[in-house]
């Protein structure tokens, strides 16, 4: 059978340039193209004949570089502040919605802009692990959803002047994963943090290229598990002498995870 065709989303300005060039050409190939199994897929046609399809292709980019929201989507603009009302830079902001989820990172003034937000009542979630602000969209942290701001998004419109207030800062766990035998970093490790009272609520992430990770850590006990190809799993409740891992709110703790084969 035919192989699946895919269309690459391209900036609108490049699309128009290609259309103009195709319209001037007279030597466009008209021979049929074939898949490996010999079945005819389609005839090569001038690009301008595909213009209506390409313009309607969901997710096409327009001259300003923004992805054009679908007709049932809108935008949200606002600011993120801490408990003192001061703007916070570097906060990841995203809407709680189904399907593709846009996100934004606040600038030095704490401002953010979300494009492609589903219309309706939407909660705005935040995360800045390196400063102790947890991912409010993760059930692992037990954040009360009633405390999360809800905004009304209208199709094709922008909801602005939204103020998102961060909660209290948690502890910060900064870890490095190494090979216990060689002392080398393990950049392929994966981190998983779970509630001890409900392991189904968890958060997982990969370490960076230097084998390091950072997590907002609640004051109450959580279990940390580290896995990597070729190594035995490491667990805080098994491999730490104290048997558990705690970080007080507002404090930071460094942890070296030694993986064994």
Distance CA 233, CA 248 (A): 26
Rounded Cα distance between 134 and 129, Å, is: 6
Can you give the pTM of this predicted structure? 0.67
Residue 2 scores a pLDDT above 50: no
Question: Starting from the edge strand earliest in sequence, which strands make up the sheet with 234-235, in order?
Answer: 202-206, 190-195, 222-227, 234-235
Q: Are 175 and 206 in contact (CB under 8 A)?
A: no
Please give the C-alpha separations between residue 109 and each of 24, 77, 89, in angstroms, as whole numbers.
Answer: 48, 13, 6
175-201 per-residue burial string, b: 16 or more CB within 10 A, e: under 16: bbbbbeeeeebbeebebbbbbeeeeee
CA angle 127, 208, 107 (to 5 degrees): 35
User: What's the confidence (pLDDT) of residue 11?
Assistant: 53
Q: Which residue has the higher pLDDT, 128 or 196?
A: 128
Query: pLDDT band at residue 14, thresholds of 50, 70 and 90?
Result: low
Q: Is the pLDDT of residue 19 over 60?
A: no
- pLDDT tens figures, 112-154: 999 999 999 999 999 999 999 999 988 788 788 888 889 999 9
Q: What is the DSSP letter of 139?
A: G
Q: Write out pLDDT tens, residues 213-238.
A: 999 998 766 789 999 999 999 999 89
Is residue 241 over pLDDT 70? yes
Number of H helices, E strands in the chain: 3, 16
73-165 and 171-259 have identical folds: yes
Contact criterion met (CB below 8 Å) for 230 and 243: no
Q: CA 96, CA 87: separation in Å to the nearest integer?
A: 22
What pLDDT, in 10s, does the model give residues 54-87? Answer: 443 444 343 334 454 445 899 999 999 999 999 9
From the candidate CATH numbers 3.40.50.720, 2.40.50.150, 3.40.50.300, 2.60.40.10, the one assigned to the domain spanning 73-165: 2.60.40.10
At residue 62, the pLDDT reads: 38
Fold of 171-259: Immunoglobulin-like (2.60.40)
What pLDDT is attached to residue 139?
Answer: 79
Q: Which residue ranges make up each domain of the chain?
A: 1-66, 73-165, 171-259
């Amino acid at each position: 059978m035919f192989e699946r065709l895919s269309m690459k989303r391209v900036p609108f300005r490049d699309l128009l340039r290609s259309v103009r060039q195709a319209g001037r050409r007279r030597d466009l190939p008209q021979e049929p193209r074939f898949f490996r199994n010999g079945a005819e897929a389609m005839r090569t046609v001038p690009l301008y004949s595909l213009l209506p399809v390409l313009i309607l292709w969901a997710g096409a980019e327009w001259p300003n570089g923004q992805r054009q929201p679908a007709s049932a989507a809108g935008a949200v603009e606002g600011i993120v502040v801490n408990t003192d009302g001061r703007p916070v830079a570097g906060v990841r902001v995203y809407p709680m919605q189904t399907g593709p989820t846009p996100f934004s990172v606040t600038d030095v003034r704490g401002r953010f802009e979300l494009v492609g937000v589903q219309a309706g009542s939407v909660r705005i979630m935040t995360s800045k692990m390196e400063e102790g602000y947890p991912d409010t969209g993760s059930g692992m942290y037990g954040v009360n959803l009633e405390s999360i701001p809800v905004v009304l998004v209208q199709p094709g419109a922008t909801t602005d002047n939204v103020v998102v207030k961060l909660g209290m800062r948690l502890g910060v766990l900064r870890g490095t994963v190494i090979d216990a035998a060689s002392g080398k970093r393990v950049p392929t490790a994966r981190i998983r943090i779970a509630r001890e009272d409900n392991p189904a609520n968890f958060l997982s992430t990969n370490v960076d290229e230097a084998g390091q990770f950072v997590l907002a850590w609640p004051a109450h006990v959580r279990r940390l598990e580290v896995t990597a190809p070729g190594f035995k799993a490491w667990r805080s409740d098994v491999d730490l002498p104290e048997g558990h891992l705690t970080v007080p709110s507002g404090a930071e703790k460094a942890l070296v995870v030694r993986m064994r084969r």
